[in-house]
Amino acid sequence: MNLTPFFDYIKQYVELTSEEQSLLLSKIKTRKYLKGQFVIQNGDVCRHENFVLSGCLKTFYIDNEGQEHIVMFAIENWWTADLGSFITQTPADLNIQCLENSELVQIHYDDLQQLYLKIPKLERFFRIIIQKAFVAVQKRVINNFSLPASDRYLQFRDQYPKIEQRVPQYMIASYLGITKEFLSKIRSQLISQKK
């Protein structure tokens, strides 16, 4: 598998020496998943941080009524994990499933703890990308209670234009917290406004 996108991604934030790069390389694994397979299932402990080399995945939560709620999507150059499970090494609440055949770079929890000690720049790297992820999810909380569904859909399309062409509409509805019928109505209204 071509790991260039992985190292290029890290390079955006920290400059690793060739020794550090070799050490990191020795601690990561790549893994292929088929469409439909799970990277993590609720109840299991999330052992890996995952970087997407190719493919598309959804992270979702099943509520007490058995309904699925999509928490996030991940495509190329995104990280995905049940972070709550990963940092505490306790059973996951979330599921991560492949919507396409996917190739991931995986870093095991134990290896990452060692890597933090040996390559302190990785502390910086993960500090920065988690700050960005925090801001994104906080923005989602704010949008959810301050914007009508149609505006949230437009924001979703702006922020994740590549995802919309790759995942079914009912999953986008789930991500937005609305029914697929309501999403369909919003889309029809937007099309008729364009005419």
Please identify which residue in 3, 23, 133, 154 interacts with a second copy, judged by CB under 8 A: 133
Contacts (CB under 8 A) with a second copy, residues 34-73: 61, 63-64, 67, 69, 71
Q: 116 vs 182, which CB is nearer to a second copy?
A: 116
CB 31 within 8 A of CB 98: no
| Residue 139 CB, nearest approach to a second copy (Å) | 7
Burial of 166 (0-12, 13-18, 19+ CB in 10 A): middle
CB 7 within 8 A of CB 77: no
Tokens of 45: 């402990």
Q: What is the 3-state secondary structure (H, E, C) of 174-191?
A: HHHCCCHHHHHHHHHHHH
Alpha-carbon distance 46 to 88, whole Å? 9
Q: 85 vs 102, which CB is nearer to a second copy?
A: 85
Does 170 bind a second copy (CB under 8 A)? Our answer is: no
Alpha helices in 56-166 (DSSP H): 83-88, 109-118, 121-146, 149-159, 161-164
**Cα dihedral 101, 57, 37, 33 in deg (nearest 10):** 40
Does 11 bind a second copy (CB under 8 A)? Our answer is: no
Please identify which residue in 135, 162, 188, 189 interacts with a second copy, judged by CB under 8 A: 135
Q: 3 vs 112, which CB is nearer to a second copy?
A: 112
Does 17 bind a second copy (CB under 8 A)? Our answer is: no
| Residue 82 CB, nearest approach to a second copy (Å) | 9
Q: 34 vs 38, which CB is nearer to a second copy?
A: 38
In the complex, the residues that contact a second copy under the rule CB under 8 A are 61, 63-64, 67, 69, 71, 83-84, 87, 93, 116, 120, 123-124, 126-128, 130-135, 137-142, 144-147, 177
